Amino acid sequence: MLYLLIPFALAAAVTLYVVHSSTMHGHLSADHDLSGPQKFHARPVPRIGGVGIFLGLAGMVALAWFLKHPQAKTGLLLLLAGLPAFGAGLIEDFTKKVSPRERLIATAISAALGCWLLQATINRTDIPGLDFIVGTTVGAVLITVFVVAGVANSVNIIDGFNGLSSMCVSLMLLSLAYVAYQVGDTELALWALAGVGAILGFFVWNYPAGLIFLGDGGAYFMGFYLAEIAILLIHRHPQVSPLFALMVCIYPVFETVFSIYRRRFLRNTSPGDPDGIHLHSLIYRRLMRWAIGARDARLMTRRNSMTAPYLWTLCLSSLAPALLFWDSTPAIAACMVLFGVAYVALYWRIVRFRTPKWMVFRGDQRKLTDRSMP
């Protein structure tokens, strides 16, 4: 419990200080853009919530080192490797001048450091052809860097509403902690729990009121941390299916892949351009906007916070089979296909104004079918 509670307390305290001191740094740290396609807040809010998460974990590493815990070295190396990803995102949060490409490069550097410092490489995939590539050192490093950068970017993509990405990553880390415990890897289980604690320390100030946002620093670091724990788990334990790690992260990863396909082939735009028709954006615009009411600050915040639970449920729908079949590649592969089919079917139903009845508040179904998205 120490590894859960200490990061939680430290992250919560640091995040609260950031919120209360925003009058001093808000001109730099706050998100003043209220009109972008993925902006759903009513007032400027600090977007450096990643500071609390990083410092919460750093405090746990320092305490573990002081108490001479054998797990301290792994925690320290995780933080050191994650510094480029966190730093590039944090600079963007303050300056708004770091491009997505530069952030991805920084995350790739973090992934390469993870390969070097932690030996966190993907050396098996159970995918024909790809196993030949990762069977070589160069191939394993290149695939690992690509995967870690992709997961980090996908976590950033789903960071659109209060509590959405932070709770999803917490649930994913809990799943990794459970399987790590099942295979006897106490070290990984503890650092996964430490990540959960630090993220929840941020979460209590982010959800539901939205007093602070995660920001790119927090999103990229969370994604990096999640990917590294997952890769270390499958690297150390051959009994764990390599597809288990992908199934745990399938919601943000599939959202990213589907968004790239949608932008490139359906809309003929750049895959890197932001838009407002991600699944979470559609749920907000086509369910919450009409279900909750007018466009004032209080109701906008309420709509924002009520969007995330729908996506938490979607995330849980992938984690349940992952935990049931963590040692079976065929079963997980079948579940991944089912998840993809269900996601696409749900997306197209909502985008065509055929939202499933179970997702709609009673009394609001007529409004949802009669109105169109502005």
pTM of the entire predicted model: 0.90
Query: What pLDDT is attached to residue 360?
Result: 64
Q: Say how far apart CA 228 and CA 191 lie, in whole Å.
A: 11
Residue 223 pLDDT > 70, yes or no?
Answer: yes
The token pair that represents 307 in the structure block:
């969007």
Give one DSSP letter per residue of 181-227, joined into a string. Answer: HHTT-HHHHHHHHHHHHHHHHHHHHHTTT-SS--HHHHHHHHHHHHH
Mean pLDDT check: name the lowest of 14-28, 133-147, 166-180. Answer: 14-28
Cα–Cα nearest to 163, from 206, 205, 196:
206
Q: Helix or strand or coil: residue 31? A: strand
Q: 70-101: per-residue pLDDT in tens?
A: 999 999 999 999 999 999 999 999 998 999 89
Q: Enter the DSSP assignment of 288.
A: I
Mean pLDDT check: name the lowest of 104-113, 187-196, 283-292, 303-312. Answer: 283-292
Burial class (CB in 10 A: 0-12, 13-18, 19+), 359: middle
The token pair that represents 349 in the structure block:
């139903």
Report whether 234 contacts 331 (CB < 8 A): no
Cα–Cα nearest to 202, from 55, 72, 45, 75:
55
Q: What is the pLDDT confidence band of residue 226, given thresholds at 50, 70 and 90?
A: very high
Give one DSSP letter per residue of 44-64, joined into a string. Answer: -EE--THHHHHHHHHHHHHHH
Query: What pLDDT is attached to residue 305?
Result: 79
Query: What pLDDT is attached to residue 374?
Result: 34
Query: What pLDDT is attached to residue 190?
Result: 97
Query: What pLDDT is attached to residue 373?
Result: 37
Query: What pLDDT is attached to residue 35?
Result: 52
Please state the rounded mean pLDDT for residues 2-17. 97
Please state the rounded mean pLDDT for residues 47-71. 96
